[in-house]
Amino acid sequence: MTMARKALMISPELCIGCRGCQTACKEWNRLSVIKTRNTGTYENPPDLTPNLYNRIRFVEMPSETNLVRWLFVSQRCMHCDDAGCMKICPAPGALFKTKEGAVSFNKDKCIGCKLCVVGCPFNIPRYDDKDKVSKCHLCSDRIAEGLMPACAKTCPTGAIRYGDRDSLIDGAKKIGYEKVYGEKDLGGLGAIYVFKDAPKIYGIDEHPAIPETVVFWHKVLKPLAYLSLGGAVAVSLLHYVAFGPKKDEGGEEK
């Protein structure tokens, strides 16, 4: 029997910016803190890091009734069905899908090439101090045991909910949302959103797409690499195309 695909439904309109989900994620995954500084906003930290899988982005909008209108949204791996990170990854098993549809990772198999950064349309993967991939894995250890992800378990307002993907989408439509962000994009996302404002206001791409170079690599070069060229040579070539020539400390190309 195949398992119904699971998902997180994120409703920014219900989010109060408490960052309980950020903290719960760090606690469950034993991610250490990093020192940050005030940049003139309550948003903290300012970006995802190898020790921060889920971040609440604070968006400040002008308001007619108050000084400012705050919008909050969770930024994290979208658990794409058609995942650009997996398409480009040359290391078998470093990134993998769970039976619930999460895109998880195995640091022991990651070779630190950072190509998944190029393949991801949402700028999600980060690398730890050992050059190993790091990102939200949908609490794959919890959901395998029938528990909900730590962020969804903690959220006090229902702004992050976990469940059967189809039921979450049906439920959102029943309460009046015409469109669910991620319903069809990239084969269907595993982190789906309902927005009252345009996604781009929250810093989320309206039409995410995998870069053409990644599609070409996946369809043509990757099979060739495994068949004939030799993985290391092909990966080096792709790395050169993606990141350019290696530079020494003085900035001179090598």
Residues in touch with ligand SF4 (CB under 6 A): 15-21, 24-25, 28-29, 53-54, 56, 72, 74, 76-80, 83-85, 103, 120, 122, 124-125, 135-139, 149-151, 154-155, 157, 159-160
Measured from the CB atom, the residue of 19 and 132 that comes closer to ligand SF4 is 19
Tokens matching residue 90: 């040359």
Please tell me what DSSP assigns to residue 40. S
Measured from the CB atom, the residue of 115 and 120 that comes closer to ligand SF4 is 120
What is the Cα 43 distance to its own chain's centre?
18
| Shortest reach from residue 236's CB to ligand SF4, in Å | 22
Three-state DSSP at 122 gives: coil
How far CA 249 is from CA of 71, 88, 159, 174, 252, in Å, comes to 41, 28, 46, 58, 7
Could you tell me which of 117, 129, 10, 149 has the C-alpha nearest to residue 74? 10
Measured from the CB atom, the residue of 61 and 233 that comes closer to ligand SF4 is 61
Measured from the CB atom, the residue of 216 and 229 that comes closer to ligand SF4 is 216
| Shortest reach from residue 197's CB to ligand SF4, in Å | 16
| Shortest reach from residue 17's CB to ligand SF4, in Å | 5
| Shortest reach from residue 245's CB to ligand SF4, in Å | 26
| Shortest reach from residue 252's CB to ligand SF4, in Å | 33
State how far the Cα of 147 lies from the Cα of 143, in Å rounded to an integer.
Answer: 5
Residue 21 dihedral angles phi and psi, to the nearest 5°? -70, -35
Could you tell me which of 232, 186, 227 has the C-alpha nearest to residue 207? 186
Please tell me what DSSP assigns to residue 251. S
Measured from the CB atom, the residue of 11 and 235 that comes closer to ligand SF4 is 11
